Structure 1
Amino acid sequence: MSDKPKDHYWIKSGFINILQNFSGVFFGFAGFYVLVRLLSKHDFGVWTLFLSTTTILEAIRSGLLQNALVKFISASDEHEHPDIITASFAISGLVSIFCITAILIFAPFLSRLWDSPELVQMLYLYIAIYFFSGLQAQFNGIEQANLRFNGIFLTTIIRQGSFFTFVVVCYLFSVEVKLIYLVWVQIISAILGMSLAFYYCRRHLQISYEVSKMWVKKLFGYGKYAFGTLISSLLSGTVDQMMLGALLSPAASGAFNIAVRITNLIDIPGNAVATIVFPQSAKRMETEGKSAIKYLYEKSVGTTLALVVPVVVFLYLFSDIVIHLIAGEKYNDSIPLLQITLLYCLLIPYGRQFGTILDSIGKTKVTFFVVVVTATLNLVLNYFFIQSFDVMGAAYATLCSNVVGFIIAQVILKREIDVSIGNTWMYMFRFYPEFLEKYIKPFLKNRALK
């Protein structure tokens, strides 16, 4: 009987999180599908560089706060929650001031670096988005820490769905789209998302009258390494596009982004599983020890691989057809890029759960150093490979750095919790008959009885 609530949590939470990640990637992907037809190659490249920059700015704040907020609320008594939440808001405010100042200083420099004059006004307007998205991130983190995900799912739908609706209307009615219009729509979407996130977390939003120095120190002490990890990870994922924009052109960055967008679809299961695993592993570490964490890692990676591998094989075999259907023949140069990026997609489930598990057991410093090494290697390889192999150099560099990061992570996990790569593939192959027995056959049986 005691297993049923756990099963219910995993099934319900897993379903909501897969829906959330699917909807997020769907709207992002569908919006991209329309934008590559609405915008010129140059404008699409500039939009890609804008998104790469703003993604890093968002990560600076969420990396420093979100995992720390979720971990400490999940593992602490309820009477401590107001102090934790207040301390998190205080740190968020300081980080926001720092990032807004950085935008004001560096926007003109980035505009010159990427030969994109329109980027200055876009980044200045983004400051409003940054404010509202910061509040939303805090509200979503509080909800996640309380093992609830409905609001997170709906805010994703509202924010990305409203942006997608705008670009579709422009496409259907042949409305000229300027990049600055897209930023204004994002501002409106951020306000809507923040309001909805507040509505869903308001029951758990308990604020203290004073900022606890102890909790500020704890949150920052934990979050500084998670922050460094996420920033390094994002730099590793976006530095190729940024360097293509600087060394070649915004159009080259846009071509590479198309391959990345397609492979982002493969991240849906991994993102969903990581969101569920993190609060669970933080609790289990306190009650059951490292043996439970070992099982969580191997099982979550195996389940993710079971969902990812068939998609990777399909996309690799039909990469030319996929590119033509999604972006059109003017992006033929994205076909070989997609084939290379698909190869390191097989390593992503290992890396994502590596960070999730080590962060949850308090080894954020280790995760930080691994990701910094991988990101630095990616940066160096991109610089030399792009000059030697043109656009393909970015794909080769990212593949090589991911392989090195995978090897380092597995050595550490073997030492820390004795994980086995073989077990992950065992769980992957077991997933198919288990899914058939537990879900497909009962479903078909019930249908037959009706």
Structure 2
Amino acid sequence: MIKSLKNSAMFSNSLYSITGQASFLVSNFLLFIVLLKEFPQEAVGVWALFITVISIVDSMRQGLIQNGLTRLLIQKADEEAQQAGSGLTINFSVIILSAILLYFGAGLLANLWEAPALIELFKQSWKPLVSLGTIQMMNILCFAKNKFKLYARLNLIYMVTFLTIMVTVWYTGNLSFNAILNGQLLAVIPSVTYMHVKHPIAIAMPKMAIIKELLGFGKYIAGTNLLSLLFNKADVLMIAYFLDPISLALFHFASRIIQYIELPLTALSQVIYPRLAASYHANGVSQLKKEYGRSILTLLALIIPGVMVIDIFNTSIINILSSEDYLSSSQLIIILSIGCLFKPWGRVFGLTLDAIGKPKVNFQMLAFSLLVNIAMNAWLIPQYGVTGAAIATTSSIIITILLGQIRIKKYVDISPLSEVFNSFKIKTLIATK
């Protein structure tokens, strides 16, 4: 009975997590379609480069607080208000510093990639940084307190507000990059208001001891997030350097399609990490092993159908979402989709290392992976163009994840293949009964 209730709770949390993540991604997905339909390919390439830099900066901010704050709220619930205040202090301090650096570095970055349009975009970088930082901070507090239903509601409110603003802007003929950035910023306000009125979370003055603890734990995760984003975006940055904005637009289209197929990885990671951390904290390695296998199996079951769909129907998907100008992305989608089948293993590997207090090891593995990725992109892009970038990225993913599954045995008694097989066997027996 207890096990049934736990499984039911996990299913509900997973469903709310996917709903919340899907809501946020749907708003971005529809924006993506608008960009493809209303802006020339060169402009789409410039936007892709801007969003890549924003994603890298934002991932560092998120890494400094997300897992560390979640961990503290689980282990020391009596200091919740001070922990929330300390997390908010770090969150917005990083946003302010990042916005200042991007504002004054706008010209340098624009010259590096020979894209003058980036100057004005980078000067407004504070808008997406505040928008992302605010909604994600609310999400962290929801996850740590198991308020997944609230998380879903907040993101649904954001989606509806943002889409309403975008439809209004498009209908009035005022669609521009500036209007998009303003829309992202304004869309956060109703979500913040709803949380403050309906589900207020206690916030107290920050404590220096908690800030130091969060930064001490989060520095490796921030570094890991940075390396992870650089790994995922190295191809974009190097295509921008070696090729042109149109090539970048083609690759951006393919990588965006892959991002939506990987939605379960992002959404369920927010459910999986607290479960891994709690199981290890309460029951040690024995329960952690079961969670490890179950988590990989769940992610594989959710991601394989999506990979099959985009591999079979990728040309139709391209025609529906954009135009014949993007048909060259078809081959890129197929190559990149191969890496999707390995990512569940890598994602659970990284979350497990964080859960057992070994974020430094995860950081080291990603540093190695990034070096492999950069070397392969530098070798293959000049020879094979955007196809070379796709091959380099997929190959790097496979190599790193296979090495990670071997290395994890050094830190915790887990055999990944055995744990996944055992979980599959248990689920099969339950299903046959």
TM bin, normalised by shorter chain, reads over 0.9
Match of residue 220 from structure 2? 225
Q: What SS does the aligned partner of 1:115 have?
A: coil
Match of residue 345 from structure 2? 350
Native 8 Å contact 1:136 1:197 kept in 2? no
Match of residue 365 from structure 2? 370
Select the residue among 213, 216, 234 that pairs with 2:208.
213
User: How far apart, in 1, do the equivalents of 2:28 and 2:160 lie?
Assistant: 9
Cα deviation, 1:100-121, whole Å, max 9, x if unaligned, reads 2221222112222233323222
User: How far apart, in 2, do the equivalents of 1:91 and 1:170 lie?
Assistant: 34
Q: What SS does the aligned partner of 1:265 have?
A: helix
Select the residue among 221, 232, 239 that pairs with 2:234.
239
User: How far apart, in 1, do the equivalents of 2:167 and 2:28 lie?
Assistant: 12
Match of residue 442 from structure 1? none
Report the CA distance between 1:192 and its aligned residue. Answer: 3.4
Stretches of structure 2 lacking an aligned partner (at least 5 in a row): none
Q: Relative to structure 1, is the Cα distance of residues 110 and 159 closer, same or farther in structure 2, using a 3 angstrom cutoff?
A: farther
Native 8 Å contact 2:236 2:248 kept in 1? yes
Equivalent residue letter for 1:287: A
Per the normalisation by structure 2, the TM-score is: 0.92
Match of residue 39 from structure 1? 39
1:408 equivalenced with 2:403 (yes/no) = yes
Equivalent residue letter for 2:293: E
Match of residue 155 from structure 1? 154
1:264 equivalenced with 2:259 (yes/no) = yes
Cα deviation, 1:291-347, whole Å, max 9, x if unaligned, reads 211111111111111121122123212222222222221111101100100100101
Cα deviation, 1:135-180, whole Å, max 9, x if unaligned, reads 4333321221111123322332233443334444566x48363222
Match of residue 421 from structure 1? 417
Q: Relative to structure 1, is the Cα distance of residues 42 and 213 closer, same or farther in structure 2, using a 3 angstrom cutoff?
A: same
Report the CA distance between 1:431 and its aligned residue. Answer: 5.7
Cα deviation, 1:236-258, whole Å, max 9, x if unaligned, reads 11121122122211221111111
Select the residue among 289, 311, 317 that pairs with 2:312.
317
User: How far apart, in 1, do the equivalents of 2:125 and 2:249 lie?
Assistant: 20
Match of residue 130 from structure 2? 131
Report the CA distance between 1:374 and its aligned residue. Answer: 1.1
Report the CA distance between 1:65 and its aligned residue. Answer: 0.7
Q: Relative to structure 1, is the Cα distance of residues 128 and 261 closer, same or farther in structure 2, using a 3 angstrom cutoff?
A: closer
Cα RMSD of the aligned pairs, angstroms, is: 2.4
Q: Relative to structure 1, is the Cα distance of residues 239 and 200 closer, same or farther in structure 2, using a 3 angstrom cutoff?
A: farther
Q: Relative to structure 1, is the Cα distance of residues 431 and 305 closer, same or farther in structure 2, using a 3 angstrom cutoff?
A: farther
Cα deviation, 1:157-208, whole Å, max 9, x if unaligned, reads 233443334444566x483632222112122123334434444652x32313
Q: What SS does the aligned partner of 1:175 have?
A: coil
Match of residue 173 from structure 2? 175
Equivalent residue letter for 2:100: T
User: How far apart, in 2, do the equivalents of 1:424 and 1:163 lie?
Assistant: 40
Native 8 Å contact 1:114 1:249 kept in 2? no
Native 8 Å contact 1:143 1:201 kept in 2? no
Match of residue 11 from structure 1? 11
Select the residue among 362, 385, 389 that pairs with 2:384.
389
User: How far apart, in 2, do the equivalents of 1:160 and 1:109 lie?
Assistant: 34
Equivalent residue letter for 2:35: L
Native 8 Å contact 1:142 1:201 kept in 2? no
Q: Which deviates more, 330-339 or 121-130? A: 121-130
Per the normalisation by structure 1, the TM-score is: 0.89
Identity of aligned residues (%): 25
